[in-house]
A and B are shown apart, each in its own frame.
Chain A
Amino acid sequence: MTPMFDEMHANSTQLREHYRRYDRWLSNQPREVMRARRDEAEMIFRRVGITFAVYGEKDEDGSGTERLIPFDLIPRVIPAHEWSEMQRGLAQRVNALNRFIHDVYHGQDIIRAGIVPGEQVFRNAQFRPEMMGLDVPGGVYSHISGIDIVRAAQSDGSGQYYVLEDNLRVPSGVSYMLEDRKMMMRLFPELFGMHRVAPVAHYPDMLLETLRAVAPTGVSEPTVVVLTPGMYNSAYFEHAFLAQQMGVELVEGQDLFVRDHFVYMRTTRGTRRVDVIYRRVDDDFLDPLAFRTDSTLGCAGLMGVYRVGNITLSNAIGTGIADDKSIYPYVPQMIEFYLGEKPILGNVPTYQCRKPEDLAYVLAHLEELVVKEVHGAGGYGMLVGPAASKAEVERFREILKAHPEQYIGQPTLSLSTCPTYVEQGIAPRHIDLRPFVLSGKTVQMVPGGLTRVALKEGSLVVNSSQGGGTKDTWVLESETDDAV
């Protein structure tokens, strides 16, 4: 039998320590009350307009469909001691990744040391030759990193945290982390009186501090803006939300222009210089003169300003080289190479199909493995072996043989579960966690992150575009601590 790990229940009779109070409270809540709270939450989310657009689905008038991300009432609780360990691991990992990106675009020591194969970098679509030799403030490239973490059940019944994926381009979801907390406090204020839940509401402050800290050299009062592709982007709510929370302008490409090696925005009082762009637009669309010529989302000439150091892009251009699934297997070695430390957070064991012996193994064990596209995102181009039909497995086998270098294989982890409201009542559902790590002058983060939950029974796919939901995430001091 596959091992299971539930965040709340140690076994069928025993609760985990950190869920004791919550469970006591929950068992006293009438079902109707909880149902009413669920409806209330949905009503509020809709009124506030916390929605995302689903690509490929259109209203009759051609605008994207606005959907709610289902919000689950039962929080995911992380004991404080687990978090402090995870936090150290996250800071370490993001530090190493930033060092790696700098290295790739400068001396390439890690390639010369034979740790990361050169072709994995240079033949990678995410490698940006434009970035070679370019210095960014503080040597920091990924200012906002979303590190996806899962807990997997081990054969001894314990649960082990693994990093599943690094997101160093434009990671999203932080607004849901903040709104979920706000919602919980609104629906169940009494819970927060009973528990010492670490607060997260200062994230926008921390983000602004980070963005200001990486302004171009010599700019003492930097003007920071958030660049959005526009209101039909799936994460538009988040862009608007963060701009508002930080008190900075939310700009679109059409609001910006370049003159004399600086970036300006068009305002009702004439033009105003911009120093830091927190861009939520992919590299490819940032500058039609440098990248995709058909892009209308960016600003012509931006890359030129960037090269002379008069604008900070956050995240930097070219960070994708470090969060690519083909580079992922090397992160533990990066940590040792750059920091001389043992990795605190482990990777999921990964078979690189580009290596013949790994490919052979993956092909022989397709039914047991998860196979992912190296550049994929959003859970579309993957095979979950144990859940797939024979035909799907065979289809993937052919794809794999044809393009082995585009895939990696990983053992199917038994992701931890957390009790979740479903149609029939409360049932365990698989979850993951995305903490948001900010790197400016220092590396900092708010406790916890965004917990995503796969609402379909047995499903391991937590992406919102694939029917995933979210939960509030509590980093909780243990009960013995608050006896004071």
Chain B
Amino acid sequence: MLSRTADHLFWMARYMERAENTARMLDVNYQTSLLPQSATAAERGWRGLLGISELTDDFNRRHGNVNARAVMDYMVCDESNTSSIVSCLRAARENARAVRGSLTTEVWETQNQTWLEFGKLLKGQDFQKDPSTLFEWVKFRSHLSRGVTVGTMLQDEALHFLRLGTFLERADNTARLLDVKFHARADEYFGSTQSAAAESAEVDFYHWSAVLRSVSGFEIYRKVYRNVIRPDRVAELLILRGDMPRSLAACMNELITNLRLVGNDESHETLRRAGRLRADLQFARIDEILATGLHAFLTQFLERVGMLGVGISHDFLVPFEA
């Protein structure tokens, strides 16, 4: 397959996955904001969301006040924000269009239709009134996009590069989400007084169940642990459980499977690094990770995933030297 084609496929899948994760995070934040809470807590939620995407500075420069409406508009329909859902869906569609010949008709039409319908949805005013429906729609378009990919494409390189893009992006997004959500709570712990401890347990429940819901993990948590929701178990589920489809471990498993399938003479080192990262997850324990510091762990994970992305680009996507 042409390197350029692989590159477009990889990024098409990444942008679609990013759109989905952004929609998930926005939705959870929006849902949470409907709960009774202080204005500062609500603002903190929206700030955290900007932080996940490393957009705090850009947002401050252009909007200043952090509130639900402004952040949602910025993250959904602001075309100048390259991480907004509209930008991601456009990029996914443009990448698909550049290689439509390598996609099945169904895959291309799904991408194209997602883009066309999203435009219509934004033109209607429904998003302002009922953001959740739009977020749900984005999520389902992403499900559809993945499903139609797996369900119709030949299991060759084209599919493998799409899958690589999906799981690399998901690993990155899940790690960022965890980082910010654990940070948010940590801040609160330091600020809270003893008397607020009882209240804090209740708030905790909503906080962590929101985190779980944002990765479709609430029911899974119940099924796996059959126990009350505790941050360390949430972290374990989203980091170490290989059977949780949005966990870091699951993403790494898929990443390695697909990386093996496309392996070439250049890719040994990238594969080795990916294998090592997976082994670190496979043989880790959540209490050790928490003891050494979750933030440090996730920061390092993000760096290593970033390096894998660079490796994949170098080995496959950037044209070989003539």
Which A residues are within 8 Å of any B CB, using their own CB?
A: 46-49, 61, 230-231, 240-241, 243-244, 249-252, 254-255, 257-259, 264-271
Contacts and interface: CB of A to CB of B under 8 A. Distances in A.
Contacts of A230: 98
Contacts of A241: 101
A241 B103 CA distance: 11
B3 interface: yes
Contacts of B108: 48-49
Contact of B3 (A49, A61, A258, A267): A267
8 pairs of A and B residues whose beta carbons are closest in the complex: A244-B101, A266-B319, A257-B322, A240-B101, A243-B101, A268-B316, A266-B3, A250-B101
A59 to B, nearest CB: 11
Contacts of A258: 322
Given A267-B1, A268-B6, 13 more contacts: A48-B112, A49-B100, A49-B108, A61-B79, A230-B98, A249-B1, A255-B319, A258-B322, A267-B2, A267-B3, A268-B262, A268-B264, A270-B264
Contacts of A268: 1-3, 6, 157, 161, 262, 264, 316-317
Contacts of B3: 255, 266-268
B97 interface: yes
A255 B100 contact: no
B14 to A, nearest CB: 17
Interface in B102-135: 102, 105, 108-109, 112-113, 116
Contacts of B97: 49, 231
B265 interface: yes
Contact of A47 (B79, B99, B116, B262): B116
A482 B5 CA distance: 48
Contacts of A49: 97, 100, 108-109, 112
Interface residues of B, number: 30
10 contacts: A48-B109, A49-B100, A61-B79, A231-B94, A240-B100, A250-B5, A259-B322, A268-B161, A269-B264, A270-B265
Contacts of B320: 266, 270-271
Contacts, number: 73
Nearest to B158: A268
Contacts of B112: 47-49
B101 A252 contact: no
Main secondary structure of the interface of A (DSSP, over half): mixed
B159 to A, nearest CB: 13
A254 B109 contact: no
Interface string B1-13: 1111110000000
A270 B320 CA distance: 7
B116 A46 contact: yes
B322 A254 contact: no
A372 to B, nearest CB: 35
A249 B319 CA distance: 15
Nearest to A301: B322
A46 B120 CA distance: 14
A269 B267 CA distance: 10
A269 B97 CA distance: 23
Contact of B2 (A61, A257, A266): A266
Q: Which of A47, A48, A266, A268 has the most CB of B within 10 A?
A: A268
A228 B106 CA distance: 23
Nearest to B317: A268
B81 to A, nearest CB: 14
Contacts of A240: 99-101
Contacts of B1: 249, 267-269
Contacts of B316: 268
Contacts of A48: 105, 108-109, 112
Interface in B231-287: 262, 264-265
Given A47-B109, A49-B108, A270-B264, A254 B101 contact: no
A254 B319 contact: yes
Contacts of A46: 116
Given A47-B113, A49-B108, A268-B262, A254 B4 contact: yes
A257 B320 CA distance: 10
Contacts of B100: 49, 240, 244
A47 B108 CA distance: 9
Nearest to B108: A49
B116 to A, nearest CB: 7
Given A240-B101, A244-B101, A251 B113 contact: no
B74 to A, nearest CB: 18
Contacts of A231: 94, 97-98
